[in-house]
Amino acid sequence: MKKLKFIIPGFLILAVIGGIVINLLLHVTVSADNIVVKDIKVSDGVLSLTGDFSDSALDYKGFNIRFEGDKLYIMIKGSLLSFGQKDSSFQFTLDSKEHGKITEVFLQDSSHTRKIWPAA
């Protein structure tokens, strides 16, 4: 019975740590340096972005956005683990009419920001 007191908490701790590691591997913010923007169009409050990862080990999983005034910041999500066929290319369209006019678009990761529109 005393051993059971140590086994159950130990198992729970391992399960929590394993869940955190799997979550980190499944959804990571891709470095802005590893994103190749193939095409970006901004017009009438609609943004269209097409791109690819320079690191073929990553699989596209989605994106997060943040507005600061008329500037749009995009965080691209990728995964190191993939179930099924991997696809490192991505394309999405964003209707930003509710946020107003977009004057600049940036890719952002945890450590830096890269301007992608308009071209510098």
Question: What is the Cα–Cα distance from 72 to 117, expressed in whole angstroms?
Answer: 10
Torsion of CA 61, 108, 111, 29, to 10 degrees: 0
Q: Domain range holding 85?
A: 2-117
In this prediction, residue 67 carries a pLDDT of 92
Is 19's pLDDT higher than 70? Answer: no
In this prediction, residue 15 carries a pLDDT of 78
Confidence of residue 120 (pLDDT cuts 50, 70, 90): low
Question: What is the Cα–Cα distance from 28 to 95, expressed in whole angstroms?
Answer: 24
User: In the chain, what percentage of residues exceed pLDDT 90?
Assistant: 41
Higher-scoring residue by pLDDT: 55, 105: 105
* Mean pLDDT of all residues in 79-107: 83
- Tally the domains of the chain: 1
